[in-house]
């Protein structure tokens, strides 16, 4: 019998208010892009080698790059058409030099599907399911990939003990997973069974926001006869969906700092990964489209939109409209990366495209009540002012740390963020390590809450990079 736990949460974190420009309503489909530029490194794993040449015709779903001997997952053509260029450029997230394949659409949208064995998937066996997930590109999602018999991750799937499903969305503007849960619930339920079968003997823990009682009840009813399933209602507090935080909340286990959740035998998947597994195994569809939340204060029509991987963000912004000056973020407002290039492609692990207004100069901006800003403190009354308005503004002048302790209170990993940031900033990397900077999950709340507007997380990230470089040299 499925076991429904009590309401769980974690120490620290922040419950964001509702923001203006959050996507609502049904998922809409974006128009087919006329041209896509697909980087051969997407999600977890190293870059894959191209199998196509300039001038080749490809179909949607066809594998255009794979490297079975390296830790990686194949990359697919998201549209049907002709390969017009293969060149190198900076990766939109890591900025590392990456190979891109450019495909021009022929407008016909012809698909190719994966070959599936006959009969019920429950009798196919873990290896066969692993092959399908690998060839469909599903294994590239998640912080450490999904382990299969293929080299889709660094760990042995047989050693995994837990499968965690993250079905709680807590970052502002991100609503895609929630919309999918309501629209494709059957796929979600079957997808969980598929991923469980692919991993073998694991316990499955699903974390869902307690504010979605319909989903909780439905899930309980549909999965009633499975004794390997645990359903946990969670407080939708940011960053609950982070792998390490989810492991701590659901299993009460610590992920060793600097390691992935797989180090303690836990695989963490999100809703879209579960649904992608369902589509791959039951329909033979490769992961070439996903739902992203297109939202933010500068977006005219905030929507959850189904897009092909590789669609340039410029296409989406033209279609749904945005105001300028604004900042385009690939990902949510807390963890997203600012991109200026309108040709930047949507990747298969892109959760959102958030466009925020730039701040405007206001007289006495430092002391204004600001009833429509979100705040960790209750200095801004949380119930007044309706939906929150967000800009990229610091909302204050940078000042030295006044030790208010907010970053310590919100840190989900029980760190002293400002001390780590100070140590890293001063180049005292040993002290930063002593303070366990690699336990940081980079949720960004420390920078968010700081009244002195210190970019705490940025300093911690720089410290991490410096230590990694040091280790590479020695």
* Structure token digits, residue 276: 């992608």
The verdict on 459 binding other proteins (CB under 8 A) reads yes
Residue from 248, 285, 348, 464 binding other proteins (CB under 8 A): 248
Site string for other proteins, 69-88 (x = CB under 8 A): --------------------
**CB nearer to other proteins: pick between 134 and 173:** 173
Shortest CB 138 distance to other proteins, Å: 27
Which residue of 108, 318, 399, 468 would you call a contact of other proteins, by CB under 8 A?
Answer: 399
CB 133 within 8 A of CB 139: yes
Q: Can you tell me which of 18, 403, 465, 468 binds other proteins, judged by CB under 8 A?
A: 403
Cis peptide preceding 325, ω within 30 of 0: yes
208: β partners: 167, 233
Beta carbon nearer to other proteins, 4 or 339: 339
Site for other proteins in 159-198 (CB under 8 A): 172
Contact of 311 with 343, CB cutoff 8 Å: no
Cβ-based nearer residue to other proteins, 40 or 423: 423
Q: Does 400 bind other proteins (CB under 8 A)?
A: yes
**Residues 179, 211 contacting (CB under 8 angstroms):** no
Region 266-325 residues binding other proteins, contact defined as CB under 8 A:
none
Q: Report the nearest approach of other proteins to the CB of residue 253 (Å).
A: 9
Q: Which of 448, 460, 464, 467 binds other proteins (CB under 8 A)?
A: 448
Of residues 44-73, those binding other proteins (CB under 8 A): none
Q: Does 401 bind other proteins (CB under 8 A)?
A: yes
- CB-count burial class (<10 Å; 0-12, 13-18, 19+) for 59: middle
Cα separation, 190 vs 147, in Å, equals 19
Q: What is the DSSP string of 235-275?
A: ---BTTTSHHHHHHHHH--PPPTTS-GGGGTEEEEEHHHHH
Query: Quick check: 464 binds other proteins (CB under 8 A)?
Result: no
- List the one residue out of 181, 183, 114, 125 whose CA is nearest residue 157: 125
Told to check if 337 binds other proteins by CB under 8 A, we report yes
What is the rounded end-to-end Cα distance, in angstroms, of the chain?
Answer: 53
Smaller CB distance to other proteins: residue 55 or 366?
A: 366
CA distance 147 to 150: 8
User: What is the pattern of x (binds other proteins, CB under 8 A) and - over residues 355-384?
Assistant: -x-xxxxxxxxxxx-x--xxxxxxxx----
Judged by CB under 8 A, which of 111, 210, 228, 438 binds other proteins?
Answer: 438
Shortest Å, Cβ 467 to other proteins = 13
Q: How far is CA 265 from CA 79, 104, 155, 186, 262, in A?
A: 36, 42, 9, 27, 5
Would you state the structure tokens that stand for residue 268, as one six-digit string? 């963490």
Q: 81-90 and 229-234: which strand pairing?
A: unpaired
In angstroms, the CA 201 to CA 197 distance is 8
**Is residue 9 within the footprint of other proteins (CB under 8 A)?**
no
Taking CB under 8 A as the binding criterion, the range among 35-43, 48-56, 179-187, 450-458 that sits at the site for other proteins is: 450-458
CB of 86 to other proteins, least distance (A): 31
| Cα R_g (the chain), whole angstroms | 22
As a whole number of angstroms, the distance between CA 119 and CA 281 comes to: 11
Cβ neighbors of 227 (< 8 A, separation 6 or more) are 1, 2, 3
Q: Does 258 bind other proteins (CB under 8 A)?
A: yes
Place of tokens 């390691």: 259
Applying CB under 8 A, the span of 153-161, 276-284, 286-294, 453-461 interacting with other proteins comes to 453-461
Q: How far is the CB of 18 from other proteins (least distance, A)?
A: 14
Among 391, 428, 429, 466, binds other proteins (CB under 8 A): 391
219 and 229 Cβ atoms separated by less than 8 Å? no
Using the rule CB under 8 A, is 392 a contact of other proteins? Answer: yes
Tell which one of 159, 402, 471, 473 touches other proteins (CB under 8 A): 402
Q: For other proteins, how many residues bind (rule: CB under 8 A)?
A: 84
Smaller CB distance to other proteins: residue 74 or 333?
333
Using the rule CB under 8 A, give the single segment among 32-40, 93-101, 117-125, 400-408 that binds other proteins: 400-408
CB nearer to other proteins: give 136 or 410: 410
Q: Which residues pair with 293 in a beta bridge?
A: 304, 352
Q: Which is nearer to other proteins, 190 or 326 (CB)?
A: 326
405-434 residues near other proteins, rule: CB under 8 A? 405, 408-409, 412-416, 418-419, 421-422, 425, 434
> In angstroms, what is the minimal distance from the CB of 384 to other proteins?
12
394 interacts with other proteins by CB under 8 A: yes
Q: Which residues pair with 338 in a beta bridge?
A: 329
Closest distance to other proteins from the beta carbon of 87 (Å)? 28
d(CA 21, CA 303): 9
Nearest C-alpha neighbor of 353 from the set 387, 376, 319: 319
Residue 361: Cβ-neighbour burial (10 angstroms; 0-12, 13-18, 19+): exposed
């Amino acid at each position: 019998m499925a076991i429904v736990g009590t309401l769980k949460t974690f120490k620290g974190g922040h419950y964001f208010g509702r923001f203006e420009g959050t996507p609502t309503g049904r998922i809409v489909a974006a128009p087919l892009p006329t041209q896509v530029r697909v980087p051969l490194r997407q999600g977890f794993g190293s870059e894959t080698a191209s199998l196509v040449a300039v001038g080749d015709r490809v179909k949607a779903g066809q594998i255009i790059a794979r490297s079975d001997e390296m830790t990686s997952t194949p990359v697919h053509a998201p549209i049907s058409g002709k390969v017009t260029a293969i060149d190198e450029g900076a990766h939109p997230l890591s900025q590392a030099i990456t190979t891109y394949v450019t495909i021009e659409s022929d407008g016909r949208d012809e698909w190719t599907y994966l070959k599936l064995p006959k009969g019920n998937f429950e009798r196919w066996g873990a290896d066969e399911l692993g092959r399908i997930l690998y060839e469909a590109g599903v294994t590239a999602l998640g912080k450490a990939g999904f382990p299969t018999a293929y080299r889709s991750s660094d760990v042995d799937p047989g050693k995994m003990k837990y499968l965690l499903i993250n079905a709680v969305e807590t970052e502002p503007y991100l609503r895609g997973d929630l919309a999918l849960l309501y629209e494709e619930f059957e796929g979600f339920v079957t997808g969980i069974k598929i991923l469980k079968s692919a991993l073998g003997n694991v316990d499955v823990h699903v974390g869902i926001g307690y504010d979605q009682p319909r989903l909780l009840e439905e899930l309980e009813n549909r999965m009633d006869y499975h004794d390997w399933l645990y359903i946990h209602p969670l407080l939708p507090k940011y960053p609950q969906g982070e792998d390490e935080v989810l492991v701590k909340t659901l299993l009460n286990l610590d992920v060793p700092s600097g390691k992935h959740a797989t180090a303690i035998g836990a695989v963490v998947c999100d809703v879209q990964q579960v649904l992608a597994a369902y589509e791959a195994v039951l329909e033979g569809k490769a992961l070439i489209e996903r739902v992203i939340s297109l939202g933010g204060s500068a977006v005219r029509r905030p929507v959850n939109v189904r897009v092909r991987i590789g669609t340039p963000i410029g296409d989406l912004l033209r279609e749904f409209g945005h105001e300028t000056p604004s900042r385009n973020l690939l990902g949510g407002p807390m963890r997203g990366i600012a991109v200026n290039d309108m040709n930047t492609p949507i990747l298969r692990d892109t959760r959102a495209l958030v466009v925020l207004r730039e701040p405007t100069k206001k007289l006495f901006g430092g002391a204004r009540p600001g009833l429509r800003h979100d705040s960790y403190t209750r200095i801004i009354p949380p119930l007044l002012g309706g939906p929150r308005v967000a800009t990229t503004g610091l909302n204050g002048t940078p000042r030295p740390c006044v030790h208010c302790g907010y970053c310590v209170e919100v840190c989900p990993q029980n760190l002293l963020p400002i001390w780590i940031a100070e140590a890293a900033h001063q180049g005292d990397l040993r002290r930063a390590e002593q303070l366990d900077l690699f336990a940081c999950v980079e949720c960004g709340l420390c920078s968010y809450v700081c009244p002195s507007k210190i970019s705490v997380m940025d300093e911690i990230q720089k410290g991490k990079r410096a230590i990694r470089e040091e280790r590479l040299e020695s």
